Amino acid sequence: MQRVESEITRLIKEIDYDEVTRLFNMLSGGKRLRAKLILKIAPKHEKAPLLAAIVELIHGASLLHDDVIDEALTRRGVPSVNATDGSKTAVMLGDILYSKAFTELVEFDRDIAKVIAASVTSLSKGEMQDVKMADEFNEDEEKYLDMLYLKTATLIEAAAYASALLAGKNASSYGVYGRNLGLSFQIIDDILDITADAVTLGKPAMNDFVEGKCTLPYIYLNRELNAEDSARLKNSHAKHIDEDETLWIKAKMKEHKSVEKSFELAVKLSNEAMLAVKDDKELIDILQTMIKRSY
């Protein structure tokens, strides 16, 4: 990971603009999940740290744009770039990070470069779908999971697939692992948005619903509610709700085990991922640690 951080620093320095360096240094490093995944799949390849750095720049760019779209004032518990320096600056910084990442991708074989580049198109499409779906209460689980795959899982899938190509391993199996890791990781995040407190989250609790996002627990809950309660839930969608309404939603979720049902899907996806890489203990450990983040 020190090599990855050094590569990231080098790439940012090569942009040769102090303002970009200043703004990038404001970004919290985060879990570096995608970078760690690449290093575990291709630990001995000399270009693995560069590939990991490229993927982290792409991920960082997507988060910058995401914060602007969501009008988020914090990211991982610290002020977002759009909060401190404005949305225009955040968008431009994201564009610079994307462009630098694409420039560096030419260092790799065509198949590796193509899978990473294609994932960026997918995640951008997923982001657009996410925004569109927030216009009204979404009741369609399949539609939600398709969006989740595009927005969150594709870059993790691409990182796993590309690093397997780099290491000469079975790319399809590692791609399945990355896809399911990405989906289950986000489902756990969706659960934590409901069950964790604001301090733990680094943002207000139940913020997804306020932003208009109908994550799995809400979709599963709505299926079980009678017409009157379903109308009440939908009436709270995409609004700042008071404590009484928050407690009502949580009580109904507890009654109908909406969170537990969401967690069961995350576990199912995680188990499928483990089967895909059953001989790789380190990758299995990542999944097990991720699942333990839950409620």
Mean pLDDT of 151-175: 97
The answer, yes or no, to whether residue 199 has pLDDT greater than 90, is no
Return the pLDDT at 293: 78
Mean pLDDT of 167-182: 98
Contact criterion met (CB below 8 Å) for 168 and 138:
no
For the segment 17-32, what is each residue's pLDDT rounded down to a tens digit?
999 999 999 887 778 9
Handedness of CA 265, 36, 80, 148 (dihedral sign): negative
Name the pTM for this structure.
Answer: 0.93
Contact criterion met (CB below 8 Å) for 184 and 273:
yes
For the segment 29-41, what is each residue's pLDDT rounded down to a tens digit?
778 999 999 999 9
Looking at every residue in the chain, the average pLDDT score rounds to 94
The answer, yes or no, to whether residue 158 has pLDDT greater than 90, is yes
Dig out the tokens for 179 from the structure. Answer: 């896809």
Mean pLDDT of 122-132: 96
Return the pLDDT at 70: 87
Return the pLDDT at 247: 95
Q: What CATH number labels 1-30+48-107?
A: 1.10.600.10
Which residues of the chain are in CATH 1.10.600.10 domains?
Answer: 1-30+48-107, 110-295
Q: Which residue has the higher pLDDT, 207 or 173?
A: 173
- The CATH architecture to which 110-295 belongs is Orthogonal Bundle (1.10)
Return the pLDDT at 202: 57
Mean pLDDT of 265-294: 92
- In whole angstroms, what is the distance from residue 237 CA to residue 285 CA? 37
Kindly report which listed range (32-41, 127-136, 189-198, 271-280) carries the lowest average pLDDT score: 189-198
For the segment 56-84, what is each residue's pLDDT rounded down to a tens digit?
999 999 999 999 998 888 887 789 999 99
Return the pLDDT at 295: 58
Tell me, rounded to whole angstroms, the distance of Cα 138 from its chain centroid. Answer: 20
